[in-house]
């Protein structure tokens, strides 16, 4: 080979190296998302869990080479504002993100209440929003076209408890209709949905609802309800009142020695019932959207267990505790956007909306497929039981890692 | 309506429940009264309606929770919260309250509302927004086949309320500062003419109020859960109790606290727990209406 040709080959190869699009995620373009989320105020803890979930997913997608659209690749960048756990501020910040920061795609806030405040704004400006923390079913009966939720709606949260109670009745040679149900839920949209789900399921089995009480928002004492529980002796007690309700219930159930074969709660982890009340929390059933022991997996995060492991390595403050499902579902919301962008192959927000609507995705968080109303209809809720201080999956039986301890002592 | 009838039947069918409700009411009412005790002083002596009352209670709870987290006995939180909240109360007095004494009602309400928001936000920044509680890890006492239960933390609350009431009443009667407080409460200008340092009296009273709230909070965190933004609940109940008891009536505060506690428990048992706090507010309205009617009658008699 002549030297001139050799030099030309080397120069061509070198130029090709510099000119060809890089596979490094650092060289990718940016897709700008916005989120008004609770970084202070009463929802700050869960708001921060959600933000960490968003950021972890963004980093994982970046590590995997970014979002591929044709020859180009992109990474997500999120502008966050603190809604201070207030709906009106959330709505104002959503307007600001859309009008001033020119954000074309949104990630959801924390809680059903905040999502309810923000969704009309994103709908008005036709901005696709994938949310991960608003479970109230009332979000999905308003005909919104741009709102999508990766999580199961709230009426499904504790419905498995009723099915479990029916199964246990049958195992013991009793008719499910003989089961007596007690319900105590906070008077807010989320917990009222849970109540509706329980009542629907109880009616399906013809069970009798013997206590049906609404807890005040500033609940400090449940002894009146628990006294009735001691008198009426129901077979199932369901309590939903955010972390305050869970903590109050666990403490007073223990203090008053309330014996019910099955007690199901929401927000066990948020209230840290195992850390605060030790053995008193044993055998309680806790609703969860996700658990690290589930057999879900995907290409970005790997298995549910792998997600937990890697998330804990990235956010060391979670090392000594379970990764909250609020974090996992926030990561799943980012994944839905990434998948939609890749399938749409364009930045056009209408095309992105349509791609999100057509999502059918297996993830470490579970299957995601949206109904025409925007809620995820492909993923079941999971029920875990606190067994010797550990949260073990006991229902639905297809995903159960441990048998149910019944009746509760 | 059906549910109310069922609940009334339960009360009639199980008479022991009435004993339980009364005991629960007394124990809960004692904790309410503790939080209201200082408000009665501040309102009576300084004519300041302190909307940050509940936030001092929550702050006391966080002191006890923090100490318990360090491995110290939860009850140690009571004296520590008393001392620490005394200092915080003094700082709040110097920075905010001293500027609104003898000003109009709106100014003092606005200033203390601001103070409440500030305290809640500081606690949120320092301790986060999770609900917290402290486990006293002492056995509950059970009677009547376990149907009536007395948690030790609540019992300590009752004893503390009684001790505090006695202590403050004796202090007011027998100490020089107590007499100065009473004189200032009756007529601040006359007290000043007589050489009483009313500024010192005000600072002492407000600090004492904060300290009592702090000690109450240290007990409350062993009974209920706390969160930075729950102060308003305790503030509302404190206002109801002081209004029902009447200004300057310290034994009345205890009585009103116990009464409201028992009424709330009965109300929750009969009408449902959702009506628990509405009952306290209804009671406040009834007391106010009763007082207005009484005043009108007095005026008519004088005329």
Q: Give the residue from chain B lying closest to A213, CA to CA.
A: B272
User: With contacts defined as CB-CB under 8 Å, which chain B residues touch A225?
Assistant: 268, 273
Q: Which residues of A touch B130 (CB under 8 A)?
A: 45, 243, 270, 272
Provide the pLDDT for residue A26. Answer: 63
In which band, very low, low, confident or very high, does the pLDDT at A6 lie, cut at 50, 70 and 90? low
List b or e across B17-34, with b for residues whose CB sees 16 or more CB atoms inside 10 angstroms.
beebbbbbbbbbbbbbbb
Mean of the per-residue pLDDT values for chain B?
A: 90
Range in A67-76, A108-117, A253-262, B27-36 the model is least confident about: B27-36
Minimum Cα–Cα distance from B126: chain A residue:
A40
For chain B, say whether A278 makes contact (Cβ under 8 Å).
Answer: yes
d(CA B107, CA B97): 10
Tokens, residue A70: 């044709």
Partner-chain contact A45 B128, CB within 8 Å: yes
Residue A209 near chain B (CB below 8 Å): no
Judge whether B58 and A220 are in contact, CB under 8 Å: no
> Is A28 touching B (CB cutoff 8 A)?
no
Q: Any idea what the Cα angle at residue A287 is, between residues A284 and A292, rounded to 5°?
A: 100
Pick from B7, B28, B130: CB nearest A243: B130
- How close does chain B come to A74, measured CA to CA in Å? 35
> What confidence tier does A22 reach under pLDDT thresholds 50, 70, 90?
very low
Q: Which residues of chain A are within 8 Å of residue B24 when distances are taken between CB atoms?
A: 221, 223-224
Instruction: Tell me the mean pLDDT in the region A315-343.
Output: 94
Provide the pLDDT for residue B137.
Answer: 78
Beta-strand relationship, A105-107 and A72-82: unpaired
Q: What does the block give as tokens for A48?
A: 């921060």
Is A188 a residue whose pLDDT tops 80? yes
- Pull the structure tokens for residue A316: 């060391």
Which pLDDT score is estimated for A271? 85
Within 8 A of A278 by CB-CB distance, chain B residues are: 135
B17: nearest CB among A184, A222, A227: A227
pLDDT at A375 over 80: yes
Percent of chain A having pLDDT more than 70? 94
pLDDT above 60 (res B37)? yes
Which of A216, A255, A257 has the CB atom closest to B274's CB atom?
A216
Closest of A244, A217, A280 to residue B225, by C-alpha: A244
Q: Write the residue in B147, B151, B229 that is nearest to A230 by C-beta.
A: B147
Reported in sequence order, the residue ranges of A3-70 that DSSP labels E, i.e. its strands, are 29-37, 67-69
Model confidence at B2, pLDDT cuts 50, 70, 90, reads confident
- Cis bond upstream, residue A396 (ω within 30): yes
Q: Which of A221, A245, A258, A281 to mutate to test the interface with B (most CBs of B within 10 A)?
A: A221
Task: Say whether pLDDT at A14 is over 80.
Answer: no
Neighboring chain B residues of A85 at a CB cutoff of 8 Å:
129
Tell me which residues of chain B, numbers 240 to 269, contact chain A at a CB-CB cutoff of 8 Å: 265, 268-269
Contact A257 B135 (CB under 8 A): no
pLDDT band at A25 (very low <50, low <70, confident <90, very high): low
A146 touches chain B (CB under 8 A): no
B-interface mutation test, from A255, A259, A317, A324, most B Cβ less than 10 A away: A255
Query: Taking CB atoms and an 8 Å cutoff, what residues of chain B touch A266?
Result: none
Per-residue pLDDT of B127-149, as tens digits, reads: 988 889 898 878 889 998 888 99
H or E segment at A49?
helix A44-63
Stretch A136-157: mean pLDDT = 93
| CB-CB under 8 Å, A231 with B130 | no
The verdict on A199 touching B (C-beta cutoff 8 Å) is no
Prediction ipTM score: 0.85
B156: its two tokens: 């300590």
Searching chain B, which residue's CA lies closest to the CA of residue A188?
A: B274
Provide the chain B residues 18-57 that lie in CB contact (below 8 A) with chain A. Answer: 20-21, 24, 28
Lowest mean pLDDT, pick from A1-15, A152-166, A306-320, B81-95: A1-15
Taking CB atoms and an 8 Å limit, are B129 and A41 in contact across chains?
A: yes
Residues of B in contact with A230 (CB under 8 A): 147
Residue B280 has a pLDDT of: 73
Instruction: Give me the residue from B10, B121, B135 closest to A231, CB to CB.
Output: B10
User: pLDDT band at residue A75, thresholds of 50, 70 and 90?
Assistant: very high
Q: Is B237 on the interface with A (CB under 8 A)?
A: no
Please report the pLDDT score of residue B296 as a whole number: 86
- Show residues of chain B in contact with A82, CB under 8 Å: none
- Residue closest to B161 by CA, chosen among B21, B32, B263, B262: B32
pLDDT digits (tens, 9 = 90+) for B160-197: 888 888 888 899 889 999 999 999 988 889 999 999 99
Instruction: List Cβ<8 Å contacts ≥24 apart for B170-174.
Output: B172/B250
Pairing between strand A302-303 and A297-298?
Answer: antiparallel
Residue A407: name the closest of A160, A199, A209, A169 by CA: A169
Q: Give yes or no for a contact between B177 and B184, defined as CB atoms under 8 angstroms apart.
A: no
- The single residue listed with the structure tokens 């080397």 is A10
Residue of B nearest to A224 (CA): B269
The three-class DSSP label of residue A283 is: coil
pLDDT at residue B102 in the model:
75
Tell me what percent of the residues of chain B surpass a pLDDT of 90.
Answer: 43
For residue B254, give how far its alpha carbon lies from the nearest alpha carbon of chain A (Å): 20
Please state the rounded mean pLDDT for residues A389-407.
89
A and B: number of Cβ contacts within 8 A: 101
In the DSSP assignment, the letter for residue A262 is: E
Chain B interface mutation, best of A187, A223, A228, highest count of B Cβ atoms under 10 Å: A223
Q: Is the Cβ pair A42, B133 closer than 8 Å?
A: no
Q: Which residues of B touch A219 (CB under 8 A)?
A: 273
Q: What whole-number distance in Å separates Cα of residue B176 and Cα of residue B194? A: 13
Residue B5 dihedral angles phi and psi, to the nearest 5°: -65, -40
Residue of A nearest to B15 (CA): A231
Residue showing tokens 């529980």: A229
Question: Chain A neighbours among B 119-138 (CB < 8 Å)?
Answer: 121, 124-125, 128-131, 133, 135
Structure confidence at residue A310 (pLDDT):
97
Contact across the interface for B129 and A251, Cβ inside 8 Å: no
Helix and strand totals (H; E) in chain B: 12, 2
Q: Does B140 touch chain A (CB under 8 A)?
A: yes
pLDDT classification of B303: cutoffs 50, 70, 90: confident
Torsion sign across C-alpha atoms A163, A165, A168, A170: negative
Q: Count the neighbouring beta carbons within 10 Å of the beta carbon of residue B186.
A: 12
- Please state whether beta strands A366-369 and A262-265 pair in parallel, antiparallel, or not at all (unpaired): unpaired
pLDDT in the model for residue A90: 97
A212 close to B (CB below 8 A): yes
Contact B229 A247 (CB under 8 A): no
């Amino acid at each position: 080979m002549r030297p001139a040709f050799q030099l030309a080959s080397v120069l061509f190869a070198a130029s090709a190296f510099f000119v060809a699009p890089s596979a490094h995620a650092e060289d990718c373009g940016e897709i700008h998302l916005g989120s008004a989320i609770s970084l202070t105020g009463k929802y700050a803890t869960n708001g921060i869990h959600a933000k960490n979930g968003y950021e972890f997913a963004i980093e994982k997608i970046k590590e995997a080479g970014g979002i591929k659209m044709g020859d180009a690749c992109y990474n997500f960048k999120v502008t966050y504002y603190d809604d201070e756990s207030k709906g009106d501020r959330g709505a104002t910040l959503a307007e600001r993100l859309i009008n001033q920061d020119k954000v074309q795609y949104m990630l959801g806030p924390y809680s059903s209440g905040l999502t309810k405040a923000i969704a009309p704004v994103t709908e008005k400006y036709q901005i696709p929003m994938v949310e991960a923390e608003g479970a109230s079913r009332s979000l999905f009966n308003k005909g919104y076209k741009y709102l999508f939720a990766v999580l199961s709606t709230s009426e499904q949260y504790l419905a498995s408890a009723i099915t479990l109670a029916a199964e246990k009745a049958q195992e013991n040679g009793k008719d499910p209709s003989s089961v007596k149900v007690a319900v105590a839920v906070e008077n807010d949209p989320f917990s009222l949905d849970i109540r509706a789900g329980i009542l629907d399921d109880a009616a399906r089995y013809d069970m009798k609802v013997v206590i049906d009480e609404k807890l005040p928002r500033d609940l400090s004492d449940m002894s009146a309800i628990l006294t009735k529980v001691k008198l009426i002796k129901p077979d199932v007690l369901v309590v939903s009142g955010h972390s305050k309700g869970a903590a109050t219930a666990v403490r007073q159930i223990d203090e008053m020695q309330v014996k019910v074969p099955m007690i199901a709660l929401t927000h066990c982890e948020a209230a840290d019932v195992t850390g605060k009340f030790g053995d008193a929390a044993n055998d309680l059933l806790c609703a969860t959207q996700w658990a690290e022991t589930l057999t879900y997996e995907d290409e970005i995060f790997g298995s549910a267990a792998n997600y937990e492991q890697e998330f804990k390595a990235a956010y060391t403050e979670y090392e000594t505790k379970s990764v909250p499902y609020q974090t996992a579902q926030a990561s799943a919301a980012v994944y839905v956007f990434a998948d939609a962008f890749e399938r749409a192959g364009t930045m056009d927000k209408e095309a992105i909306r349509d791609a999100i609507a057509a999502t059918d995705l297996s993830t470490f968080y579970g299957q995601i497929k949206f109904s025409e109303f925007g809620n995820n209809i492909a993923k079941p809720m999971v029920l875990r039981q606190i067994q010797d201080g550990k949260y073990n999956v006991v229902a639905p039986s297809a995903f159960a890692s441990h048998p149910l301890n019944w009746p509760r002592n | 309506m059906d549910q109310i009838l069922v609940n009334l039947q339960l009360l009639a069918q199980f008479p022991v429940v009435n004993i339980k409700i009364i005991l629960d009411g007394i124990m809960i009412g004692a904790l309410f009264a503790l939080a209201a005790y200082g408000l009665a002083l501040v309102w009576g002596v300084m004519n300041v309606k302190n909307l940050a009352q509940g936030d001092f209670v929550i702050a006391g709870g966080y002191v006890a929770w923090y100490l318990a987290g360090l491995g110290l006995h939860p009850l140690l939180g009571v004296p520590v919260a008393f001392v620490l909240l005394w200092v915080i109360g003094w700082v709040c007095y110097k920075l905010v309250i001293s500027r609104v004494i003898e000003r109009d009602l709106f100014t003092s309400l606005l200033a203390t509302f601001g103070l409440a928001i500030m305290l809640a936000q500081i606690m949120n920044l320092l301790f986060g927004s999770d609900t917290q509680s402290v486990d006293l890890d002492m056995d509950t006492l059970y009677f009547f086949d376990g149907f009536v239960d007395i948690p030790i933390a609540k019992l300590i609350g009752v004893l503390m309320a009684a001790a505090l009431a006695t202590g403050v009443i004796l202090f007011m009667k027998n100490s020089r500062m107590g007499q100065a407080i009473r004189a200032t409460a009756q007529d601040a200008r006359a007290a000043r003419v007589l050489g009483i340092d009313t500024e010192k009296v005000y600072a002492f009273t407000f600090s004492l109020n904060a300290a009592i709230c702090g000690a109450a909070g240290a007990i409350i965190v062993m009974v209920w859960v706390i969160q930075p933004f729950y102060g308003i609940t305790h503030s509302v109940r404190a206002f109801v109790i002081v209004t029902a008891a009447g200004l300057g009536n310290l034994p009345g505060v205890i009585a009103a606290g116990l009464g409201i506690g028992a009424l709330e428990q009965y109300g929750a048992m009969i009408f449902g727990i959702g009506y628990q706090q509405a009952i306290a507010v209804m009671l406040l309205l009834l007391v106010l209406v009763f007082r207005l009617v009484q005043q009108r009658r007095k005026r008519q008699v004088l005329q």
